[in-house]
Amino acid sequence: MMYEIAKDPIDIQSVIDKVVQREAGAINTFIGTVRELTKGKKTLYLIYEAYEPMAVKKLEQIGNEIKERWEGAEVAITHRVGKLDITDVAVVIAVSTPHRADSYEANRYAIERIKEIVPIWKKEHWEDGQEWIGNQLETVAYPSGKPEEGDLNE
Amino acid sequence: MNKILFFAHLRDEVGEESVTIDASGKTVAEVKALVAEQYKLQKLDSAMTAINEEFAPNDEVIKDGDVIAFIPPVSGG
């Protein structure tokens, strides 16, 4: 399985191993971690929740989009759910391509796209409260009911 | 009948992971309005909708047995 939602800590090397290929000249790995301070506010821990079957499908869609745009790319993505502490690994994205420039670009594309279309949510827990992120900011509303291509780099 | 799934703040507000209603023949927009009123959900407008695990536009008509999920703006990564 190249695209997974994991309830246990992610083994980074096993994600990387999935994209090893003889045609590759580069493997680019992104490791998303839980940050303590956001705009000066101290996070104690996070809860990630996913609509798992759809999230896996959307991760796979992102992988397919990458393969269309960057020839010869292989992609593996694992996203964690449940309670995560500060510095814990929330997501690992590994992309291999024949040449290194493509692996950087394609990996960046994957993380930005995850933040657009993959049904995963985080709940921030602070010393003085808790809130689901994404609900109160409303920085991205989708008038057509689904994200458009132009929303990608917001 | 149709299962409706709630996530994140919507799940907290409704107090259920899912409910079952008869939504067949209704559009996504109509079901959204119905559910928003029944559960007093003010932010359902900003949520996307998925039918059978795929994003669906507001004018899509729901069939019997379709699973509907309301997807608040996501925050993974």
What is the CATH number for A88? 3.90.1170.40
pLDDT in tens, chain B (77 residues): 999 999 999 999 999 999 999 999 999 999 999 999 999 998 898 899 999 999 999 999 999 999 999 999 999 99
Listed residue (A4, A138, A125, A121) closest to A59, CA to CA: A4
Contact A62, A43 (CB under 8 A): no
Q: Where are the domains of chain B?
A: 2-71
Specify if A123 maps to a domain. yes
Residues forming beta bridges with residue A77, ordered by sequence position = A3, A93
* pLDDT tens column, A69-112: 999 999 999 999 999 999 999 999 999 999 999 999 999 999 99
A121·B56 Cβ contact <8 A = no
Domain of A18, in residue numbers: 3-134
Considering only CB atoms, which chain B residues are within 8 Å of A147? 48, 55
CATH architecture of B2-71: Roll (3.10)
| A 107-136 → B contacts, CB under 8 A | 111, 114-123, 131-135
ipTM exceeding the 0.90 mark: yes
Q: Which residues of A36-51 are buried (b: 16+ CB within 10 A; e: fewer)?
A: eeeeeeebeebbbbbb
Banded model confidence at residue A142, pLDDT cuts 50, 70, 90: very low
pLDDT at A139 over 70: no
pLDDT at residue A38, as a whole number: 87
pLDDT of A147: 55
* Contacts with A32 from chain B: Cβ below 8 Å: 77
Count the domains in chain A.
1
Residues of B in contact with A118 (CB under 8 A): 74, 76
Residue A148 covered by a domain: no
Q: Is residue A79 part of a domain?
A: yes
End-to-end CA, chain B: 34
Name the residue with higher pLDDT: A145 or B9. Answer: B9
3-state secondary structure of A28: strand
CB contacts < 8 A (A, B): 100
